[in-house]
């Protein structure tokens, strides 16, 4: 399916089920140190069990590398705007990073809606202030790695997205009742319509896979080629 750069394709039910099986049959990436520390810390604070609230925390952090890359790319355009071809290529990266952020933002909004609808009581410190602080620190790290060596930042993000992909697809297997739970959302018109909650979560899992692949494609490229 053709698509805008940074916007993962919308899949139908059969494709989503196939994607889930594929993810579950695929080993995790071999995570780097920063990613391992992050996942360990998240398990420690939010528990190893998958929950809507823990995914919301993941999504608060997930947008941040794309914001960092967008910011660096905008600064780069300021420096090279006289070289039209290069400036255009960097601008394409800005467009991609913006679409990736929007995609992560929909994930966050959907999780927020589900948590509110289910009346889940979240502690302010653990589920608001701590994720804000984590997102701030993760932004600095992604930004710094990107400025020093972009491949380091892309690798960290590929690890993060790989982890998210596996977690979402496993989450769906843990909730067979979602196969018949309708997906109702304020953002469905923008994000996508799905017959059941299970397919919506499979779609998010697949989005994370596409984000991972995009970062892996960038890994071997010189900066803003
Ligand atoms: Fe996400
Ligand atoms: Fe993602």
- The full set of domain ranges for the chain reads 13-24+49-219
- What is the pLDDT at residue 124? 92
Q: Structure pTM?
A: 0.94
Distances from the Cα of 151 to the Cα of 16, 104, 158, angstroms: 30, 21, 10
- What is the pLDDT at residue 89? 85
- 223 pLDDT band (50/70/90 cuts)? low
The Å distance, Cα 108 to ligand 1 centre, comes to 7
Q: What is the percentage of the chain residues whose pLDDT exceeds 90?
A: 82
Which tens digit of pLDDT belongs to each residue from 16-33? 999 999 999 999 999 999
The answer, yes or no, to whether residue 1 has pLDDT greater than 50, is no
The answer, yes or no, to whether residue 36 has pLDDT greater than 70, is yes
Residue 93: how many other CB atoms lie within 10 Å: 20
| Ligand that comes closest to the CA of residue 214 | 2
Ion ligand 1: residues, Cβ under 5 Å: 62, 104, 107
The Å distance, Cα 83 to ligand 2 centre, comes to 32
The Å distance, Cα 206 to ligand 1 centre, comes to 9
The Å distance, Cα 89 to ligand 1 centre, comes to 25
The Å distance, Cα 211 to ligand 2 centre, comes to 5
3 state DSSP class of 30: coil
Average pLDDT over residues 96-125: 94
- What is the pLDDT at residue 75? 87
The Å distance, Cα 203 to ligand 1 centre, comes to 10
The Å distance, Cα 107 to ligand 1 centre, comes to 5
| Ligand that comes closest to the CA of residue 159 | 2
The Å distance, Cα 160 to ligand 2 centre, comes to 8
| Ligand that comes closest to the CA of residue 99 | 2
**What stretch of H or E contains 127?**
none
| Ligand that comes closest to the CA of residue 111 | 1
The Å distance, Cα 90 to ligand 1 centre, comes to 24
Which tens digit of pLDDT belongs to each residue from 58-81? 999 999 999 999 999 888 888 877
- 225 pLDDT band (50/70/90 cuts)? very low
CATH number for the domain running over 13-24+49-219: 1.20.1260.140
Residue 89 CA to residue 225 CA, distance in Å, equals 7
């Amino acid at each position: 399916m053709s698509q805008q750069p940074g916007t993962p394709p919308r899949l139908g039910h059969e494709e989503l089920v196939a994607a889930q099986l594929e993810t579950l049959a695929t080993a995790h990436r071999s995570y780097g140190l920063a990613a391992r520390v992050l996942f360990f810390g998240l398990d420690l604070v939010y528990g190893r069990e998958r929950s809507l609230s823990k995914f919301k925390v993941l999504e608060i952090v997930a947008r941040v590398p794309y914001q960092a890359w967008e910011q660096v790319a905008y600064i780069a355009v300021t420096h090279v705007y006289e070289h039209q071809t290069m400036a255009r290529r960097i601008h394409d990266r800005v467009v991609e990073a913006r679409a990736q952020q929007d995609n992560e933002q929909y994930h966050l909004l959907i999780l927020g809606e589900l948590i509110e609808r289910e009346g889940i009581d979240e502690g302010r410190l653990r589920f608001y202030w701590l994720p804000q602080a984590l997102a701030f620190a993760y932004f600095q790290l992604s930004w710094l790695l990107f400025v020093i060596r972009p491949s380091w930042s892309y690798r960290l993000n590929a690890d993060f997205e790989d982890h998210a992909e596996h977690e979402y697809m496993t989450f769906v297997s843990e909730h067979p009742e979602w196969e018949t739970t309708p997906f109702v959302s304020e953002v469905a018109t923008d994000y996508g319509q799905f017959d059941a909650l299970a397919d919506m979560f499979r779609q998010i899992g697949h989005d994370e896979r596409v984000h991972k692949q995009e970062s892996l494609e960038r890994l071997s490229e010189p900066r803003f080629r």
